[in-house]
Amino acid sequence: MTGFSIDWLDLRESVDLQARDKSLAKLAIRWLKNISSPDQLPLILDLGSGTGSTVRSFDSLLDAESIPARWRLIDNDPNLLSEAKRRYETSNRIETCLADLSNIQKISFQNVNLVTTSALLDLVSANFVRDLAQTINAQSQLSNIALYSALNYDGTAKWNPQHPLDEKILSIFNEDQCKDKGFGPALGPGASECFKDEFQAIGFTIMIANSPWELEPDDHELTNSLIDGFAEVALQREDCSNSEIENWRSFRKNQLTSGSCQIGHIDSVALPPKKL
């Protein structure tokens, strides 16, 4: 999978936290509490965990003390896992595991009660989501597993003020999002729809909510990074001239301290069918 720096993950984390749909996060935790047993702490498996942002989001959104749980953080980047371990070195509820996320069948889901992902499914392929659904479904025959998937990019970006090239630049960016990120052709903006289809097909109940980034002048560092990202992708193509793209970039950067931007994301929860 294409790597992400600790700096980038830290830069986006506060915006991610604000964007997460609170009702779905609480639904996932409530489900976890309902299936917990007094003799064993529930186990949460976080795929593509980075430095542990999902753990911190649960701690911030909810009373973590009322939901004792163990976390297994899975990533294929040793630097990110090392940072996660450092941040949680005094906690006995966190374990880290270096694994190849592109081969979901080699990851153990034994004794897992909840699978979580954050900003991951838009990077993976339809085959990955299908394998994930089938793996969770097989394991759910032994013990119920739910899935909470947050912050999957939905392909929308709304800038204020607008620029004539906004839609063209976005279209180019969205096409680039579907390139192989290490899992085969990426789902990009189609991630949430694929998630819904695959888990509904195995009888899971799906809840979906919008979780857009709402970027204001105080978020100018993240917005600046996004502008550069959009522009650099567009410069690799011949759909627009370099001067047009640089004009767009300059216009956007001139609006950093006065404009705003909404980047669309979707959160989802999949609950297993009730056993008779």
Single-letter amino acid, residue 246: E
Token duo for residue 181: 């990120």
Domain 6-155+184-214+264-271 sits in CATH 3.40.50.300: no
Tell me the C-alpha distance between 131 and 128, whole Å: 5
pLDDT in tens, 104-150: 888 989 889 999 999 999 999 999 999 999 999 888 777 789 999 99
Long-range contacts of 61-64 (CB under 8 A, 24+ apart): 61/17, 61/20, 61/22, 61/25, 61/26, 62/25, 62/26, 62/29
Please report the pLDDT score of residue 139 as a whole number. Answer: 84
Please report the pLDDT score of residue 66 as a whole number. Answer: 59
Please report the pLDDT score of residue 108 as a whole number. Answer: 87
Token duo for residue 133: 């659904």
211-222 b/e with 16+ CB inside 10 Å = b?
A: bbbebeeebbeb
Residue for token pair 């005094």: 90
Please report the pLDDT score of residue 64 as a whole number. Answer: 47
Please report the pLDDT score of residue 93 as a whole number. Answer: 85
Tell me the C-alpha distance between 201 and 130, whole Å: 10
**Distance of CA 6 to CAs 13, 79, 83, 109, Å?**
10, 8, 8, 27
CB atoms within 10 A of CB 153: 24
Tell me the C-alpha distance between 96 and 262, whole Å: 33
Token duo for residue 140: 């759910």
Tell me the C-alpha distance between 27 and 100, whole Å: 29
- Per-residue tens of pLDDT for the chain, all 276 residues: 446 789 999 999 999 999 999 999 999 988 888 887 767 788 999 999 999 999 999 887 765 445 678 899 999 999 999 999 999 887 778 999 999 998 888 898 988 999 999 999 999 999 999 999 999 988 877 778 999 999 999 999 999 999 999 999 999 999 999 999 989 999 999 999 999 999 999 999 999 999 999 999 999 999 999 999 999 999 998 888 999 999 999 999 999 999 999 999 999 999 998 754
Please report the pLDDT score of residue 67 as a whole number. Answer: 66
Tell me the C-alpha distance between 203 and 109, whole Å: 19
Note the pTM of the prediction, 2 decimals. 0.93
Tell me the C-alpha distance between 70 and 111, whole Å: 11
The full set of domain ranges for the chain reads: 6-155+184-214+264-271
